[in-house]
């Protein structure tokens, strides 16, 4: 048909939109994780929040 764009330009546009959507999803997810981390670290009192931020993978040791 004379008014239809060719298939390759439509595929290119779809691929570009997918890339942009993926980038936005990555940025959005990263921003959400940073916001959650900041919120929970502010719930702790001062000396403990530094400990949680640095040593969050291991449980606290008794001295």
Give residue-wise pLDDT tens across range 7-18. 688 888 888 888
The pLDDT, as a whole number, for residue 5 is: 58
Q: What is the pLDDT of residue 59?
A: 57
Q: For 2-59, how does the pLDDT look when each residue is reduced to its tens digit (9 = 90+)?
A: 556 566 888 888 888 888 989 999 999 999 999 988 887 777 666 766 777 777 665 5
Task: Indicate the domain borders of the chain.
Answer: 7-57
Look up residue 20 and give its two tokens.
């942009």
Residue with tokens 């048909």: 1
According to the model, what pLDDT value does residue 32 have?
93
Q: Do residues 42 and 49 lie in contact, with contact meaning Cβ atoms separated by under 8 Å?
A: yes
Residue 27's pLDDT is 92
């Amino acid at each position: 048909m004379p008014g239809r764009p060719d298939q390759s330009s439509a595929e290119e546009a779809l691929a570009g939109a997918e890339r942009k959507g993926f980038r936005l999803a990555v940025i959005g997810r990263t921003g959400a994780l940073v916001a959650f981390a900041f919120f929970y670290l502010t719930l702790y009192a001062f000396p403990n929040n530094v400990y949680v931020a640095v040593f969050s993978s291991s449980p606290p040791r008794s001295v």
